[in-house]
Amino acid sequence: MVESQSVQFGEAARSLASRARSLELLTPVFKSPPRIVGVSRTIRRRSDGQAVIAVAFRSRPWNAVLADMIDGILHINELSGAAASRARDDLWETLSDPIEAAA
């Protein structure tokens, strides 16, 4: 049975949020689609300081959606250089098993 994109998005969001917490990173709320028509990803901060990353997933390659989610986490945590590279690798590793299993 093929999972819906919404279910896949929710599972990816939960996996990435869990991994971000384990890396002691700020954990965003993920939603879809972005409020701004025509953009793939937006990032905003709510009044309580919580970051919201909105990602479009319809009619987009799934790896592009995942990359937007991961890059959003790096952005809200203001990571760059080697720290960003390590965190990016860790976050992708979190997602690699389900993607490989589906291939």
pLDDT tens digits, residue range 42-95?
999 999 999 999 999 999 999 999 999 999 999 999 999 999 999 999 999 999
- Cα–chain-centroid distance for residue 30? 7
For residue 38, with 0-12 CB atoms within 10 Å meaning exposed, 13-18 middle and 19 or more buried, which class applies?
Answer: exposed
- This prediction has a pTM of 0.88
3-class DSSP assignment, residue 103 = coil
* Domain contains 101: no
Task: Provide the pairing of β-strand 41-45 with 51-55.
Answer: antiparallel
Q: Are 12 and 69 in contact (CB under 8 A)?
A: yes
Domain carrying residue 69: 5-96
- The CA R_g of the chain, rounded to the nearest whole Å, is 13
* Domain contains 103: no
Number of domains in the chain: 1
